[in-house]
Amino acid sequence: MQEFLRLLLHPRLRKLLAVRWSGQLTDGIFQSALASFVLFSPERQASAMAAALGFAIVLTPYSVVGPFVGTILDRIARQRAIFVANALRSVDLILIAILIFSGSTGVLLTLLILFAFGVNRLLLAGLSAGLPLMIDRPSLLKANALAVTGGSLSVVIGGAIGIAIRRTIDSMGNANHSDGILLLIAVLGYLAATFLTSLIARNELGPLPHENTQKDGVAELVAAFKFLRSHQDAVRGIIATSIQRGGLTALTIVGLLLERNTFNDPSNTEAGLAGVSRAIACAGVGLVIGALVAPIGVAKVGRHNWIRMMMILSAVTPILVGVIHTPWSLYNSAFFVAAAGQSMKVTNDALVQSKITDDFRGRTFALYDMTVNVAIVSSALLAAIFMPNSGITISVPIAITSVYLFIAIFVLRPSKFSGISTN
């Protein structure tokens, strides 16, 4: 705990954390408004496919263009890219708010939401790529745990703030008006993140002067793939983390539908939204604990073994929500899967950051994000095909458990890391 406090006071790292956490707190407010507008409005029916398509809509485009964005992060000042992106995101949310005030659900609204989420992934990739330049190498794992977990908690807190604000102002008008006001509040959050970015020196986040000088984006992308081939431990960690996130997304859809259509009266959307908030709170506690135990676990068993152990832990709990259809089982599953997933991710992020040189780091994290996004979208769509709108299903949790165990046993087996340091 003392080490985490030291990192919080680190003069350079705290500037990066301020940008990341303020932006992700605002992300939570933004996402709560969208969830309310799309899934928890009385006039709209929630379905497994609607939820899955929501994930696909916001993530698929970035999965396609993300690797090419990575070449930008390795070519221009990352601080400048993050500053401009935050400013553009503020303008984008103003436009989204205007459309939601009018009750619009057309193509333009979808495109603006796509832009907001695409920019967000660019921001997170840029901040992750710049993190190793803000802290000494021995502190990288703890710094990454602090950044990622604090960011995840910020999203959770932002979501809770958004729900609380919506309930307070809901009496002022219909649901669309409440969600529109939430988005205008989010604009202020993104403007704050823009200001905080300006406090970071232009070249402080890299890339370093010795970066790759290629100008062909496709060639740079191919070079990044070739570079990763020589770092199979990082590749396997990326695959495992992506699969874990995909399974977590499928479980999220299960939880949304259970709270929306089974645990509560479908017409009482506020009760469903409150249930989702409790599940998110349990997941938030899991995020903190998972991050805190990661450095301890890595110190005892090594990075690769810890990632494997967390994947196995992730495989245990999905069955609980598939067999026992109660809020208690959902909250427990949310806690344990989030804890294992977060511990896994912060460990793997530090692994990737330590293995990849700065001239490839932006592209690598863009590819990392792309892989995670593809896994999330694929899992959401596959789950929706086999999932009833009630959320009551055993096949989806069994499938998630089976895939997790396969990854743990075969992809992450120790023999695959022979000759590779486990620390």
Residue 383 structural domain: 2-209+217-417
Q: What is the pLDDT of residues 350-380, one digit of tens each?
A: 888 888 877 777 778 777 878 888 898 899 8
- Model confidence pLDDT, tens digit, residues 15-33: 999 999 999 999 999 988 8
Read off the pLDDT band of 45 (50, 70, 90).
Answer: low
Check residues 254 and 274 and name the one with the higher pLDDT. 254
pTM: 0.78
Q: What percent of the chain has pLDDT over 70?
A: 87
* 52-61, 194-203, 325-334: least confident range: 52-61
Q: The CATH number of the domain where 148 resides is what?
A: 1.20.1250.20
The per-residue pLDDT of the chain, averaged, comes to: 84
Q: What is the mean pLDDT of residues 317-343?
A: 93
In tens, the pLDDT along 210-257 reads 554 455 556 666 777 788 888 888 899 999 999 999 999 999 999 989
Average pLDDT of the residues in 61-68:
63
Of 79-88, 129-138, 156-165, highest mean pLDDT: 79-88
pLDDT at 223: 74
Q: Peptide bond preceding 414: is omega within 30 degrees of 0, i.e. cis?
A: no
Stronger pLDDT, 91 or 113, i.e. the higher one:
91
Task: Answer yes or no: is pLDDT of 112 > 80.
Answer: yes
What's the number of domains the chain is made of? Answer: 1
**Structure confidence at residue 422 (pLDDT):** 43
362, 338, 17: which is closest to 156 by C-alpha? 338
Say yes or no to pLDDT of 412 above 70.
yes
Per-residue confidence band for 171, with pLDDT thresholds at 50, 70 and 90? low
At residue 59, does pLDDT exceed 80? no
Side chain identity, residue 351? L
Give pLDDT, residue 61.
61
Tell me the mean pLDDT in the region 58-79: 71
pLDDT value at residue 311: 96
**Confidence at residue 111, expressed as pLDDT on a 0 to 100 scale:** 80
Does pLDDT of 157 surpass 80?
yes
**Average pLDDT, integer, range 124-144:** 86
> What is the pLDDT at residue 421?
44
Please report the pLDDT score of residue 231 as a whole number: 84
Does the residue 422 lie in any domain? no
30 or 114, which is more confident: 30
Residue 418 pLDDT grade (very low, low, confident, very high; cuts 50, 70, 90): very low
Is the pLDDT at 42 greater than 70? The verdict is no
pLDDT for position 66: 63
Residue 324 in any domain: the answer is: yes
